[in-house]
Amino acid sequence: MKVLVLYTTVDGNTEAVAERISEKVGADVSKIVRVNKIRGYGLINKLRARFEVMFNRRPGIFPFKWDPRDYDLIFIGTPVWYDSYNPVFNTLFEVIKIYDRKIALFSTGETEDQKALDKFSKKLQDSVILGRYHCVEPIWEDEDLETERILTEAADWAQGIADQAEKMIEQEEFERRKTIYKF
Ligand SMILES: Cc1cc2nc3c(=O)[nH]c(=O)nc-3n(C[C@H](O)[C@H](O)[C@H](O)COP(=O)(O)O)c2cc1C
């Protein structure tokens, strides 16, 4: 089974989760990097970010390493931006249609709110969504132990998803052979 972790990050929280997931399940990793970075969160930049989310803007992104359509299972991760996913995914979804894949979604945010994952799920409804995981800013926990606990929890969640996807693929292959060889 081919597994990809596709994510974006600004300050490193989502990246920490993405890295842990990829290590645990042995996945390739594609990071989506925007061309015009938003540097710092002064008033102007906050307004710019909010505008991009509100109006579904598609900021330019650099080409990324792996094409998600080549994978059986794709973990997709985003920082929460104004109750939504990061606008770089508007650009990605415009360029690449992701459908008929097994998908698992993750996000990191300031709060426990999962609205961004709801929107993500809607956007990816032509695929099978096997699960969702959200956590609060893991790398900014005061205690390293707490950071570690969150990242371990994320990795265990991802392993459960990968096991489930593997079983589904085996079953699909079995059904396919049954149809072809009529047993
Ligand atoms: C422009 C902007 C908007 C944000 N909006 C929200 C929000 O609506 N809800 C929330 O819980 N966190 C929000 N956050 C906090 C981030 O989601 C959180 O810090 C996240 O872990 C950042 O991920 P990253 O370090 O991978 O960039 C926002 C952060 C930024 C920069």
Q: Extract the tokens encoding 119.
A: 């929107």
Binning the chain into helix, strand and coil, the percentages to the nearest 5 are 45, 20, 35
Q: Reply yes or no on whether the pLDDT at 154 is more than 90.
A: yes
Residue 182: the pLDDT is 85
User: Taking 90 as the threshold, does the pLDDT of residue 22 lie above it?
Assistant: yes
Question: How confident is the model at residue 11, as a pLDDT?
Answer: 95
Q: What is the pTM of this model?
A: 0.96
Distance CA 108, CA 163 (A): 23
Q: In the chain, what percentage of residues exceed pLDDT 70? A: 100
Q: Specify the pLDDT at position 64.
A: 83
Domains and CATH numbers, the chain: 3-181 (3.40.50.360)
Over range 2-19, report the average pLDDT. 97
| pLDDT value at 41 more than 90 | no
Q: Is 12 in the pocket of ligand 1 (CB under 6 A)?
A: yes
Model pLDDT, residue 40: 84
Best probe residue, ligand 1, of 39, 57, 80 (max atoms within 8 Å of C-beta) = 80
In sign, the C-alpha dihedral spanning 157, 12, 78, 41 is: positive
Cα distances (angstroms) measured from residue 140 to each of 63, 110, 136, 177: 29, 10, 9, 50
More confident site: 64 or 32: 32
Q: Which two tokens stand for residue 25?
A: 């399940």
For the cut 90, the answer to whether the pLDDT of residue 65 exceeds it is no
Taking only the tens place, the pLDDT of each residue in 121-134 is 999 999 999 999 99
Tell whether ligand 1 has an atom less than 6 A from the beta carbon of residue 137: yes
Mean pLDDT score, 14-43: 95
Per residue in 89-119, pLDDT (tens digit) is 999 999 999 999 999 999 999 999 999 999 9
Q: How far is the CA of 52 from the centre of ligand 1 (A)?
A: 14
